[in-house]
Amino acid sequence: DGGITQSPKYLFRKEGQNVTLSCEQNLNHDAMYWYRQDPGQGLRLIYYSQIVNDFQKGDIAEGYSVSREKKESFPLTVTSAQKNPTAFYLCASAMTSGSYEQYFGPGTRLTVT
């Protein structure tokens, strides 16, 4: 059953703690993305990666970090430097040739108190 998985669906953390969100895909896609979604706003790009061991900052990278050690995995760490970390986080993947379609995971809702 191909697709993108994000875990967990809900995540709760205390302020000041780093937290890592998981994203795994078995679609053999080269590109992977992390977006943040806040109520009433569109999807804002945090980081993206077009190939293993390489990634680029998106529009709102401050306070976040990523790694891309494997093609299938693109974990996102929300650090204590992120001022407003409570949000819905979406991971996506896409091919880098042919179709441009991005496939999204089910999302992780992070609440920091």
Partner 1 sequence: GENVEQHPSTLSVQEGDSAVIKCTYSDSASNYFPWYKQELGKGPQLIIDIRSNVGEKKDQRIAVTLNKTAKHFSLHITETQPEDSAVYFCAGSTSGTYKYIFGTGTRLKVLA
H/E element, 49: strand 43-51
Stretch that binds partner 1, among 15-23, 35-43, 61-69, 74-82 (CB under 8 A): 35-43
Interface with partner 1, residue 104, by CB under 8 A = yes
> What whole-number distance in Å separates Cα of residue 33 and Cα of residue 49?
6
Output the six-digit token pair for 103: 């496939």
Interface with partner 1, residue 84, by CB under 8 A = no
Stretch that binds partner 1, among 18-26, 62-70, 74-82, 92-100 (CB under 8 A): 92-100
Position among 43, 52, 60, 61 found at the interface with partner 1 (CB under 8 A): 43
Q: With 0-12 CB in 10 A as exposed, 13-18 as middle and 19+ as buried, what is 82?
A: buried
Q: Please give the single-letter amino acid code of residue 11.
A: L
Residues of this chain that bind partner 1 (CB under 8 A)? 4, 6, 31, 40-45, 48, 50, 58, 90, 92, 94, 96, 100-107, 109
